[in-house]
Amino acid sequence: MKESIKWYLEIWWQVVARPIYFYTLLQEESWKEKSLSFLLITSWIAAFFLSLVIFITQYIPIGSTLIEGIAGIKFVLILPVMITLAFIFFMITLLILGGVMVVFFGAASYMVGVALHYSYLAIGGKGTLNRMLQASFYSSAIFLTVIFIAIFALLTKAGVLDPALFKVGFNLVYGFTALYIYGLWAVAGKKNYNIPRWKAFTGALVPVILLLIFGLAFDKIALSKLSIWITPLK
């Protein structure tokens, strides 16, 4: 377990802080091996922080109403039951969100890898689909920016941030994520397909444009509705 955590953190830091170095030295292997394991760990970390937000913003307020007015020995007697229930609900939420994150991140990374592969082939690059999928799965490292969104949500719920500022923060984080992963895809494309830098960035335009369109749609359709869940505590 300790070795797995150390391996993940080392790879994560290299992908985020030294992508050119990472993709230059990356040895090709089946995308179903280490790169898939990396994506799975990333998905579960993201799910953990989102579950924590749901637990703090939703479950705790609901639980507090159940024990309102209970004190003394009665509170001591029901405390183990409340702790057990809290743990069960948190784990249920984590398992559900973990599955959703794995499917979402996995499917998105796979489709991006396929799209990038054929895009780079179309502009004269020479490389393998397996290597592009491998690189795409490792680029999921940047998805942990969801932790910042989780922090913003908690600060908003606590009344530290205005809901309007949460929306601004969300869009800034999403925009930064899209911009950074665009760079990661371009670096991976340049290294994997032996093409000039301008072709590498050109080939990665289609998936990043789709990512930005998705972000705009989410902002218009769903983001405003999240304010219901992160209304500051009274």
- Give me the long-range contacts of 74-82 (CB less than 8 A, separation at least 24): none
Model confidence pLDDT, tens digit, residues 117-147:
999 999 888 888 999 999 999 999 999 999 9
Question: What value does the mean pLDDT take over residues 55-68?
Answer: 79
What is the rounded end-to-end Cα distance, in angstroms, of the chain? 42
Number of domains in the chain: 1
Assess whether pLDDT exceeds 60 at residue 154.
Answer: yes
User: HSE-up of 179 (CA within 13 Å, CB side)?
Assistant: 6
Residue 44: pLDDT over 70: yes
Residue 146 lies inside a defined structural domain of this protein: yes
Q: What is the C-alpha to C-alpha distance for residues 16 and 19, in angstroms, rounded to an integer?
A: 6
Predicted local confidence at residue 77, as pLDDT? 78
Higher per-residue pLDDT: 63 or 59: 59
pLDDT band at residue 231 under the 50/70/90 scheme = low
Q: Mean pLDDT, to the nearest integer, of 142-159?
A: 90
DSSP-derived 3-state class of residue 147: helix
Segments forming the whole domain that contains residue 40? 31-228
Predicted local confidence at residue 4, as pLDDT? 83
Q: Is residue 234 part of a domain?
A: no
Say what percent of the chain tops pLDDT 90: 56
Please state, in angstroms and as integers, the Cα–Cα distance from residue 185 to each residue in 6, 54, 197, following that order: 25, 32, 11
In a domain, 7, yes or no: no
Whole-angstrom Cα distance, residue 138 to residue 42? 10
Q: Which residue has the higher pLDDT, 219 or 167?
A: 167
CB 137 within 8 A of CB 21: no
Q: Which of 52-56, 96-100, 222-226 has the highest mean pLDDT?
A: 96-100
Quote the DSSP letter at residue 231: P
* pLDDT tens figures, 185-225: 999 999 999 899 999 999 899 889 988 898 888 878 877 77
